[in-house]
Structure 1
Amino acid sequence: MASPAERYAAAAARNRRSRAELGRFTASLDFPLDDFQLRACEAVEEGKGVLVAAPTGAGKTVVGEFAVHLGLATGRKTFYTTPIKALSNQKYHDLVRRHGAEHVGLLTGDSSVNGEAPVVVMTTEVLRNMMYAGSSTLSGLGFVVMDEVHYLADRFRGAVWEEVIIHLPESVQVVSLSATVSNAEEFGAWLAQVRGNHEVVVSEHRPVPLFQHMLVGTTMFDLFAGNRVNPDLLHAIRGAEQRGRYVEDARRLGGAGGRRGGRGRRDRTPPRGPGGGGGGRGFARGSRPGGGATRAEVVADLDREGLLPAITFIFSRAGCEAAVGQLLAAGIRLVPDREGDRIRRLVEQRVEPLAEEDLGVLGYWDFLEGLGRGFAAHHAGMLPLFREIVEELFTEGRIRAVFATETLALGINMPARTVVLEKLVKYNGEAHVDITPAEYTQLTGRAGRRGIDVEGHAVVQWTRGMDPMAVGGLASTRTYPLRSSFRPTYNMAVNLVAQVGREVAREVLETSFAQFQADRSVVGLSTQLRKNAEALEGYAEAMHCDLGDFREYARIRRELGDAEKDGRRARAASRRAEAAVSLERLRVGDVIRIPAGRRAGWAVVVQPARTAKGTPTGPGVVTEDHQFRRLTLVDVPEPVEAQAHVTVPRQFNPKSPKSRRDLATSLRIATPRGLEDAPSRRHRTDPTAGDTELVDHLRRQLRDHPCHECPKREDHARWAERWWRLRRETTGLQRRVEGRTNTVARTFDRICEALESLGYLAERGTVVTERGERLRRLYSERDLLAAECLRHEVWKRLDAPGLAAALSALVHEPRHEEADVSPRMPTEDVAEAVHATERLWSRIEDLETEHDLPSTSVPDGGMAWMVHRWASGGRLEDVLRGQDMAAGDFVRRCKQLVDLLDQVADAAGDAELRRTARRAVDAVMRGVVAADRLD
């Protein structure tokens, strides 16, 4: 019960709010603000910057919307930044509905709507570029909302967020909206250091509680029972694993054991919380032969149990499309026929800008049929317009199931009642890896719609080898640390030098969150260094010897030990080399004795050593126990020689047990008499043989040293060993401290040195040259390479389609399986331009190696032919025929290409090249590429 004083204070606070803009803002809402929303909005109204960290769906965007309201009310501009164009488009429409189209603009690179409006929604890169260009649009700016600010951890684009935060004028209030991160206070402390008066508001409360489940076969279990993983779930998984082993055994034996499967208890009540009984809920009437429910069965049962709408995350584009096909084949319908007809009419209106001839190659007819039945796929390989349609229909509750890759979780507002994860492993472009707690939190955070659902549900489908305890760990880790990915770039360097000079630029970069985190980590290391220094003094006293300098004696002793080790390693390496040569010399039929290990004994060579794909492979042998083995240096650490010879049949098959037995019999007959039990012939070498003059010299020094005769020599030596070990540890700590101190500024210095060597900076990196001015206008990931191509006139002779094709090498990122494929070139001129680009990249790579800088990614002409065909007016079907590229990928790359062409048109010194670049923009920006532009 609150005291009278507390009640009075609360009433006074309410009264103040009712008179302020916050009161007018809250009165316009149809829901009351939570405490964290109130605190954050009050901080904004007080003129402070604010960091709001809260779970997905908690309503943190309300704080950003209040900043928009306050900006309009006080006559100050507001920029609302988002990480991706789709989210910018979505936010633009939201704000237009609230404030009217005349007050809201949109800038996303390929869309420009009312850019001088008092409220402008934009991607973060657009704001960064405006700041470097000194755009007049920045005048009168009062608020910047940075939605999804935790994106600054993104290793490819995260630096942009820090650039904006650091370089915005001090008068601008920054409202940062973040997922819940475990180091929000650290991030807030950095914001306060860089931006001044800043408040951190953290909420870990989900307004819609999230309940975790696992689907085992066709039965759904609560993941938790109380504070532990559900015992019934563990029991069910053990049973499923046993049935799986039975099925495998039966299949190997030709049986039909796969039909074994349990029936789960049917309980139509949705599970209510982590401790809600622990039992399982049957989803289907029996298990499939594989032991799990089909996608159609899972969706149908989610529908029956009242758990739709649902998003099923499948970490594969093909898997998402296959899921839609499976539901179509199963006749699944999740919406009434009349609603399906309305959806079809809406979709047909939205795709009117597309050429009818392109619809087939875009997979439109299955897409339309699935939407009409209430389900769809969502992934980056789809046409952006198709993704937008799915997002709109799902957000409005008109379709009930979406099969998506993890890209859907990146900020798009698409909450659901249930989220299903088919796997907890995804391909990251290089390998299949477990998803992280951060990714799990982001994906499952979509479950539970505020104001609609009383609870959300996260369902993980169990697969063989999945550990429920690990799933419990993922589900329990609700926060994760935010780590900076900031690093200076070539474009950033020339822009900073041009605007504030090199010295000030260096100081500015030292204020980055990356350096802030590095400096904080140094504090603990410095404390350890002080402790180590004290211990080293103590060890030095303990090893003191009256006869001489024991530290010097210990140094000689250590150098001697190291030299002897080096000698032993050299001799061992020599023996291994001799052994490798001896294996290469063996021929088919040679009888050898394997000296040691599990395969010790006699063997006959049946396959010679060979080299395949650059990797040497040892000879194949058949042993006395008629087994086929391939020898390695582990089996034969010493050189081997043929002791006898047997005839190996020309058609000998090492996979045939009979052939191996027959040969083993011949081997036993051919084994040289008297050698059956003889020890293997090893090279007996003197352990001191081959010692260098250095070893002899150090031994003499050691014997002649005064401390060598000390009666307490070994006691002193023990303390000396401790001293050396701690000294080595301390040296490593010092290197770590030095490596983390001023790391960002030192990288900037190396970039400036590299740029000066190429003529982009002059006068010791303090002046931006004409070349550098061109580089200032190039913002692509391969910015320096683009500038070098301009400098060397690589693109001068090309027409518009050729220029677009050649520049595509700077935006295309091949998928892993494409990396080694030689690209198809449309013309000789384009081929020469791409090859010239590759040669320039090679020089840049050498320069980056020389200056210890991260490598610029390799240019790739893998889509040059497609871009040339498209820019020449080709049909989409013809462009994509026979190509391993989805329509959505092609459109996305073309939009990136248009951005780069715009930059080249702005940066080029040659008037004809500028005109060609603008013609190329028009040639590429047509049809499906331009279909989702907001005009």
Structure 2
Amino acid sequence: MSTNPVITGEQLSAFTERLDFAIDPFQIQACTALEDGLGVLVCAPTGAGKTIVGEFAVHLALARGGKCFYTTPIKALSNQKYHDLVTAHGDENVGLLTGDNSINSSAPVVVMTTEVLRNMIYADSPALVGLSHVVMDEVHFLADRFRGAVWEEVILGLDADVRVVSLSATVSNAEEFGDWITAVRGDTAVVVDEHRPVPLHQHMLVGNRIFELFDRRPRGGDKREVNPELSRYIKHRVLGADAVGQYRNAMARERGRRGSRSTGVSRPRLISMLADEGLLPAITFIFSRAGCEGALAQCLRSDLHLLEPAEADRVDEVVDRHLTELAPGDAAVLGVDDWRAGLRRGFAAHHAGMLPTFRQAVEELFVMGLVKAVFATETLALGINMPARSVVLERLVKYNGESHVDLTPGEYTQLTGRAGRRGIDVEGHAVVVWTPEVIPERVAGLAGARTFPLRSSFAPEYNMAMNLIDRLGLDGSRELLRQSFAQFQTDRSVVGQARQLDSATRSLRKIDGELDAASGRHSLDPETFVEYVELRAAIKQRERAQRFIRRYDSEQSIAEDLGALKRGHVVAVQAGRHRGLAVVLDPAWRGADPKPLVLSEDGWVGRVGTTEFVNPPEVLGNIRVPKDTRTRHARREIAASLRDSGIERPRGRVKKNAAPTDHELDELRGRLRRHPVHKAAGLDDLFRLAERRARIQREVGALEKSVHERTSQLETDFDAVVAVLLELNYLEDDGQGALSVTPTGTVLRRIYSESDLLVAECIRAGVWDRLTPPDLAAVVSAVLFQSRRESYNAGVDSMPGNRALREALTGTLQVWEATNRVQDRHGVVQTREPDTGFCAAVFAWASGRSLREALAAASEQGNLLSPGDFVRWNRQVIDLLEQIRGSLDPAAPLAGAAKRAIAGVRRGVVASELD
């Protein structure tokens, strides 16, 4: 590749003439390929200028009379890109489609979220006519386990003559990804550039000192060593005199005093230090919303001021503009005064819990240089145009929705990539805050890693299957699955296993020859000896299976009897620390291991399960248990009654029940004793060969199974999804293997929710048919909403409101249970359980109540919603209501209720955010 390619294309020359900077070699290479009619994949670091290639695709489409769709993974990025392109090409040439909003959708250039384009492809939208280019920004999002399949669906579903411009963060398998795109879309130029236009320096903050992370002294090889001065300081100045214990105790006291995690240096002090070093503006990434708000509160309590009075006045102008559509009564609920006060002093928070208009104001002020310090969650790292001079990481651990996990090298690179503003900064700076859990070598490993492989998350879903079969038929759908990046990666990985299988098969043939020769020396038929060895193996396998069956049957019997115990029953706990008599206080939970709550003779109270019993529990007697057993006095009384009851403990040691006779095992053992090889002597060499043969044979079998499963997993999953759809009559079979979508299936084709099957089943069952618009908005929210707090467990019984809503929610749960039984039969992952935690809030809002009242309704249900979450969930409710309305006959009562519900939700702060 030429390091300095020359601009030769007519359109590229015209495009670069209107730029006020020279474009880089990798941008020239990619744009030239695009002008020559190729698709392109561009992999480059954050801030390197990948979007220039996307913007050239827009220019090229307009210049040639075509159309360009510019897709992004999130609505905020779509909004930002829309405004950028309007500035460049005029609002008459640019449109926006995000699900929430539609602006000039027939324009030759339309910015949209990737899901919108996927839906257009499935609907065979007339807007696709004349489409010449599609830009897929942040295409590495196809690795996202929740939404990644959408990117592959688009790449596979677009017409072959559409040129695709894929823009990705740096990934180590860019060539593999490019090979796949070339295979499914034709000639594609892969352009990889690992050079950061603004160099990034890595630091660690230890106490009140900022150190370089890496040793600047030159060394041989590519590996960079940790700064020895940093290591010495931590060892001698920080960790001396048992400082680790003192540090942790101090941090515990600090957390108790502030109610949030401390960094070892206060946030105001940290920002002041960065200011002194000339490292502002800065983004501090804190992986929790509460942490961001806590940092903002610390700064508000301090004397930190980062702006001059004239700058604060300019802040007021921007803030006032963003608050024009806010209802006067909502200001106090939204914390406008504190938010404004922070902005006037040059600092702010930025996270998904804030109103979008608040986040947009912060972004605008940051770009203007009027916000010097932002405390943000990682969502800021995804494409939003907010580069800073420095980035601070307080922790290297984040919550991924299920558990706390370490940052990956790719995530570290994405976050720190925000540091260094092209054309403004000579260099960027990443600062990691030291704690005793963070060692410099680990940070160096994250900062120095260059391996970020892109892995497909493509998997068949109901809506996908319905739309593929409707467009392509069953065989065509399977063929498309075979073209997916997931299958492409599987096929490549199986190549290595296939080589292993070939090698193991050759080894098996070789050892068979050695076994033949050895058997001849002992005057034995090789087949007879192998038969004897296999008979011994079969006996061992049968014995293992019988032990497992006995253990399983025993556990099942114990579980059944535990589940049948009633309040007041006395049993003997047979194992564990509390052996002896115990009385049941509360019957068992439902589940695989029922655990009744018991009280033992010594007063211990706890739940016991199958591990505390060798044999099924026998009811030895019954004693009276008072209604309230929670007090110490009541439990002492019950324990005394148990000791005085006269119920005798079982005598002797507990023994397991004798195992039933296994006739098949007896027959195998008899055949072994009668076998001609059984009494032969001196066969050690044969047995050793046989053991080797058995081991290799197991290896061959395992490899064959693995290769088959891996190459067919996508089709197996797809067939399971299709089986569910056939059973539920969304698809029908013509008897010759051809499938078609039923009228019922037409509804499911237009539902794009994660719980698409549940929504379609509820529509078919009619459980939502007679609801008022506020009731419908509430029940629809239950299939979307996910409570942030794991402890939230409110259900239908705890729902305030009217009987019709509770009945509809109960009906929805019944449909969910019935649908899951069908999915379980076919081995498909079950649909997530409906969550009623947002029902009261959206009901209140759709009924015309105030924002304060709606948030209070959520709080009464046990869910503390931030204003940003409130708007976000309302947006999703609107989106699903639109899908429901669009899937039905406009004259259907449910379609009318959905239309009115949308109008009821789309008002006030929710309507003002749909920009």
Partner of residue 912, structure 2: 931
CA distance in 2, matches of 1:770, 1:593: 59
2:124 to 120, 125, 134: 134
Partner of residue 761, structure 2: 788
Partner of residue 432, structure 1: 404
Alignment of 1:139-288 (within 5 A): 139-226=129-216, 227-239=224-236, 242=239, 245-246=242-243, 248=245
Q: Give the superposition deviation at 1:78.
A: 0.7
For residue 165 of structure 2, give the secondary structure of its aligned residue in structure 1. strand
- Aligned residues: CA RMSD: 3.9
Partner of residue 539, structure 2: 560
Q: Give the superposition deviation at 1:784.
A: 1.4
CA distance in 1, matches of 2:902, 2:608: 61
CA distance in 2, matches of 1:816, 1:218: 36
Please tell me the residue identity of whatever aligns with 2:41: L
CA distance in 2, matches of 1:797, 1:416: 53
Partner of residue 846, structure 2: 871
The runs of 5 or more residues in structure 2 that have no matched partner are 217-223, 255-260, 566-572, 617-651
CA 1:337/1:607 → structure 2, altered by over 3 Å: closer, same or farther? farther
For residue 423 of structure 1, give the secondary structure of its aligned residue in structure 2. coil
CA 1:825/1:519 → structure 2, altered by over 3 Å: closer, same or farther? farther
Q: Is the 8 A contact 1:21 1:70 kept in 2?
A: yes
CA distance in 2, matches of 1:593, 1:371: 66
Q: Is the 8 A contact 2:263 2:394 kept in 1?
A: no
Partner of residue 636, structure 2: none
Partner of residue 825, structure 2: 850
CA 1:215/1:559 → structure 2, altered by over 3 Å: closer, same or farther? same
Please tell me the residue identity of whatever aligns with 2:828: L
Partner of residue 641, structure 2: none
Partner of residue 409, structure 1: 381
Q: Give the superposition deviation at 1:638.
A: 13
CA distance in 1, matches of 2:82, 2:213: 39
Partner of residue 332, structure 2: 360
1:346 to 313, 318, 322: 318
Q: Give the superposition deviation at 1:236.
A: 2.7
Q: Give the superposition deviation at 1:813.
A: 1.5
CA distance in 1, matches of 2:465, 2:367: 42
Q: Give the superposition deviation at 1:570.
A: 7.8
2:856 counterpart of 1:862: no
CA distance in 2, matches of 1:786, 1:739: 32
CA distance in 1, matches of 2:131, 2:244: 67
CA 1:163/1:714 → structure 2, altered by over 3 Å: closer, same or farther? same
Please tell me the residue identity of whatever aligns with 1:476: G
CA 1:251/1:874 → structure 2, altered by over 3 Å: closer, same or farther? closer
Partner of residue 702, structure 1: 672
Alignment of 1:372-387 (within 5 A): 372-387=344-359
Please tell me the residue identity of whatever aligns with 1:872: S
Please tell me the residue identity of whatever aligns with 1:551: V
2:724 to 725, 737, 754: 754
Partner of residue 492, structure 1: 464
Q: Give the superposition deviation at 1:605.
A: 9.3
Q: Is the 8 A contact 1:214 1:461 kept in 2?
A: yes
Q: Is the 8 A contact 2:575 2:612 kept in 1?
A: yes
Q: Is the 8 A contact 1:309 1:399 kept in 2?
A: yes
1:770-799 deviation per Cα after TM superposition (whole angstroms, max 9, x unaligned)? 111121211111111111111111211111
2:811 counterpart of 1:811: no
CA distance in 2, matches of 1:25, 1:258: 59
For residue 134 of structure 2, give the secondary structure of its aligned residue in structure 1. strand
CA 1:854/1:696 → structure 2, altered by over 3 Å: closer, same or farther? closer
CA distance in 2, matches of 1:873, 1:500: 46
Please tell me the residue identity of whatever aligns with 2:898: A
Q: Give the superposition deviation at 1:205.
A: 0.8
Please tell me the residue identity of whatever aligns with 2:531: E
CA distance in 2, matches of 1:411, 1:258: 38
CA distance in 2, matches of 1:538, 1:414: 65
TM-score (norm 1): 0.83
CA distance in 1, matches of 2:24, 2:93: 28
Q: Is the 8 A contact 2:156 2:480 kept in 1?
A: yes
For residue 419 of structure 1, give the secondary structure of its aligned residue in structure 2. strand
Q: Is the 8 A contact 2:66 2:130 kept in 1?
A: yes
CA distance in 2, matches of 1:155, 1:290: 32
CA distance in 1, matches of 2:251, 2:854: 48
Q: Is the 8 A contact 2:136 2:167 kept in 1?
A: yes
2:893 to 892, 899, 912: 912
1:326-369 deviation per Cα after TM superposition (whole angstroms, max 9, x unaligned)? 00100211111111121012111211101011111112111111
CA distance in 2, matches of 1:248, 1:542: 65
Please tell me the residue identity of whatever aligns with 2:139: V
CA 1:496/1:251 → structure 2, altered by over 3 Å: closer, same or farther? closer
Partner of residue 704, structure 2: 734
1:109-149 deviation per Cα after TM superposition (whole angstroms, max 9, x unaligned)? 11111111111111111111111112221111110000000
Q: Give the superposition deviation at 1:743.
A: 2.7
CA distance in 2, matches of 1:573, 1:105: 63
For residue 708 of structure 1, give the secondary structure of its aligned residue in structure 2. coil
Partner of residue 73, structure 1: 63
CA distance in 1, matches of 2:610, 2:462: 48
Sequence identity, in percent?
50
CA 1:256/1:893 → structure 2, altered by over 3 Å: closer, same or farther? closer
Alignment of 1:473-492 (within 5 A): 473-492=445-464
Partner of residue 56, structure 1: 46
Please tell me the residue identity of whatever aligns with 1:137: A
CA distance in 2, matches of 1:362, 1:770: 46
2:310 counterpart of 1:320: no
For residue 549 of structure 1, give the secondary structure of its aligned residue in structure 2. helix
Partner of residue 835, structure 1: 810
Q: Give the superposition deviation at 1:633.
A: 12
The runs of 5 or more residues in structure 1 that have no matched partner are 1-5, 260-288, 585-591, 623-629, 640-680
CA distance in 2, matches of 1:250, 1:489: 50
Aligned residues: 839
Greater alpha carbon shift after TM alignment, 741-750 vs 373-382 = 741-750
Please tell me the residue identity of whatever aligns with 1:229: V
Partner of residue 714, structure 2: 744
Q: Give the superposition deviation at 1:309.
A: 0.6
Greater alpha carbon shift after TM alignment, 850-859 vs 352-361 = 850-859
CA distance in 2, matches of 1:750, 1:310: 50
Q: Is the 8 A contact 2:595 2:608 kept in 1?
A: no
1:723-779 deviation per Cα after TM superposition (whole angstroms, max 9, x unaligned)? 222222222222211112233233222222221211111125621111111212111
Partner of residue 271, structure 1: none
CA distance in 1, matches of 2:789, 2:515: 58
Q: Is the 8 A contact 2:263 2:433 kept in 1?
A: no
CA 1:593/1:779 → structure 2, altered by over 3 Å: closer, same or farther? closer
CA 1:757/1:543 → structure 2, altered by over 3 Å: closer, same or farther? same
Q: Is the 8 A contact 1:542 1:716 kept in 2?
A: no
Please tell me the residue identity of whatever aligns with 2:765: H
Partner of residue 42, structure 1: 32
2:501 counterpart of 1:529: yes
Partner of residue 855, structure 2: 880
Please tell me the residue identity of whatever aligns with 1:781: E
